[in-house]
Chains A and B, each alone.
Chain A
Amino acid sequence: GDSVTQMEGPVTLSEEAFLTINCTYTATGYPSLFWYVQYPGEGLQLLLKATKADDKGSNKGFEATYRKETTSFHLEKGSVQVSDSAVYFCALGYNNNDMRFGAGTRLTVKP
């Protein structure tokens, strides 16, 4: 079945450092790919998405490109802030059906 694999955390960075969180997927079809962010004690918020190969999703300085050839959707940000500290989930989904999530990567940014 479909699945998502994320790099294990936790990830600890200094403010203004470059961030990469790796995500790869296996899929039987052509899903949309998503990154969600979860702050402590809260639900999930959509960070960005891409619906087809070569699409780039971007939001709040975060970017991820849907790479079909490498089945990847790595999350990047050029300069992280303390407020970016959260858990990040990579996910895939089809047509408003249930989603499959990666295990999550906890990011801590220190001042």
Chain B
Amino acid sequence: GAVVSQHPSWVICKSGTSVKIECRSLDFQATTMFWYRQFPKQSLMLMATSNEGSKATYEQGVEKDKFLINHASLTLSTLTVTSAHPEDSSFYICSAGRTGESNQPQHFGDGTRLSIL
């Protein structure tokens, strides 16, 4: 079946560091990928929609200069948390759907737990 790989699964770093998270669709092409953020014991909140070959679309309230998204190929999207601070600590999850398939579920990565000291 379709698989989405997310890397790394866990990051601990100092305040001020920039962190890059990768999301790969392993056996299908994904024109669009989605990045979500999940706070402890809460639901997933959509941060942005990553579009291959064009700029990402950010949800209201999400700082695009803080959370840089690059979708350079049909199988890879990256989220870079720039100059991370403790309040950026969270669980980040990406998802992707097969291009051209409607009414099919998104496939989710296993998530990245980001801890900023």
Q: What is A's interface to B at a CB cutoff of 8 Å?
A: 32, 34, 36, 41-46, 49, 51, 89, 93-104, 106
Contact residues in A for B41 (Cβ distance below 8 Å): 104, 106
26 residue pairs A–B, Cβ–Cβ below 8 Å: A34-B105, A41-B113, A42-B110, A42-B111, A43-B108, A43-B109, A43-B110, A44-B93, A44-B95, A49-B105, A89-B44, A93-B106, A95-B102, A96-B32, A96-B97, A96-B101, A97-B32, A98-B46, A99-B95, A99-B106, A101-B43, A101-B44, A102-B43, A103-B42, A104-B43, A106-B41
B residues 72-117 with Cβ under 8 Å of A? 93, 95, 97-99, 101-111, 113
Most buried by B among A32, A43, A93, A106: A43
Chain B neighbourhood of A94, CB < 8 A: 103
Chain B 56-86 interface mask (CB, 8 Å, partner A; 1/0): 0000000000000000000000000000000
Given contacts A41-B113, A42-B111, A45-B108, are A51 and B43 in contact (CB under 8 A)? no
